Structure 1
Amino acid sequence: MPKSLKQEIIYGIMMVFAMVYPMVCYNVTLNVGGTQNFVFAAALHELPIMCPLAFLFDFFVVGPIAKKITFRIFNPAEDKIIFVILMMSVLSVWMMCPYMSLIATILFKNGLQPEFFSIWISTTVKNFPMAFFWQLFAAGPLVRFIFGKMFK
């Protein structure tokens, strides 16, 4: 876990990339009706937009709220660290998924239109299970492993 502001920023950048790129690939795949080779390159074009937005929202809004809630429930000195990690991960997905789906709906699904709310809700519902399981079983463990190796 990050222990300084520099580490928080590095960890945040790593986690944002590990979540945003696969989620963009997933959404492009949904939009075109299945995985195709071009999806992986197409997703790269959205990263300069989506990654900074995700980082800023996570670093300044979601992260502090998730920590506050988690540390009200769990004490890292007394409770198993896995509970702290899982709580932070679940809260992050719970808050980030609707926000990132909102941004994607505005930017990539014809912006504000009469069906905007329905499209946003539908996008969030489709993204949430993928984001949840990707965070818990792939991105989260991978980023924590690499980050742990970087900052022993």
Structure 2
Amino acid sequence: MPKSLFQEIVFTIIMVFFMVYALVCYNISLATGGMSNAVFLGAFRELPIMAPIAFVLDMLVAGPLAKRFTFRIFDPKSDKPLFIILSISVFSVIFMCPMMSLCATLIFKGGFQREAAAVWLQTTAMNFPMAFFWQLCFAGPIVRRIFSLVFRNR
């Protein structure tokens, strides 16, 4: 886990890439009616828009909130690190999914329109299960592994 601001920034950049790319692929496949090879390339067009937004929201809002909520429940001195890691991951999804779904709604799904609230709620509901399981089962473990290899001796 990150031990300095620099490490936190590197960790967040890697996590943002894995989460945003996967969720953009997911949303494009929902919009086009299914997964295809074109989805993977199409996601790279949205990534430069959504990744910086996710980075800022995670660093300034979701990350601090996830840690605050986690450390109200768990004590790092007495609780297992796995519980803390999983709790931060779960709270991160809880906070990031609605915020990123709102951004996607405003940028890609018609912006400020009469049905914006309904579209945002539907987008959040559709994205949450994917974000939750992708984070816990794939992105989280992969990113922590990459991070541990990059910062192995530090």
With normalisation by structure 2, the TM-score equals 0.97
Please state how far the C-alpha of 1:2 moved relative to its aligned partner: 0.2
Q: Which amino acid aligns with 2:2?
A: P
Please state how far the C-alpha of 1:110 moved relative to its aligned partner: 1.2
Match of 1:113 in 2: 113
Whole-Å separation in 2 of the counterparts to 1:24 and 1:129: 14
Q: Which amino acid aligns with 2:7?
A: Q
Match of 1:55 in 2: 55
Per-residue CA deviation, residues 104-138 of structure 1 (Å, 9 max, x unaligned), is 00000111111111111000000000000000000
Q: Which amino acid aligns with 1:51?
A: A
Q: In percent, how many aligned pairs have the same letter? A: 59
Whole-Å separation in 2 of the counterparts to 1:148 and 1:130: 25
1:102 aligns with 2:102: yes
Gaps of at least 5 residues in structure 1 are: none
Per-residue CA deviation, residues 68-94 of structure 1 (Å, 9 max, x unaligned), is 111121112210111001100000000
Whole-Å separation in 2 of the counterparts to 1:146 and 1:43: 22
Stretches (4+) displaced over 2 A: none
With normalisation by structure 1, the TM-score equals 0.98
Whole-Å separation in 1 of the counterparts to 2:73 and 2:121: 29
Match of 2:145 in 1: 145
**Aligned-CA RMSD value:** 0.6
3-state SS in 2 of match to 1:111:
coil
Whole-Å separation in 1 of the counterparts to 2:120 and 2:72: 31
Gaps of at least 5 residues in structure 2 are: none
Match of 1:128 in 2: 128
Whole-Å separation in 2 of the counterparts to 1:100 and 1:61: 12
What pairs with 1:1-150 in structure 2 (closer than 5 Å)? 1-150=1-150
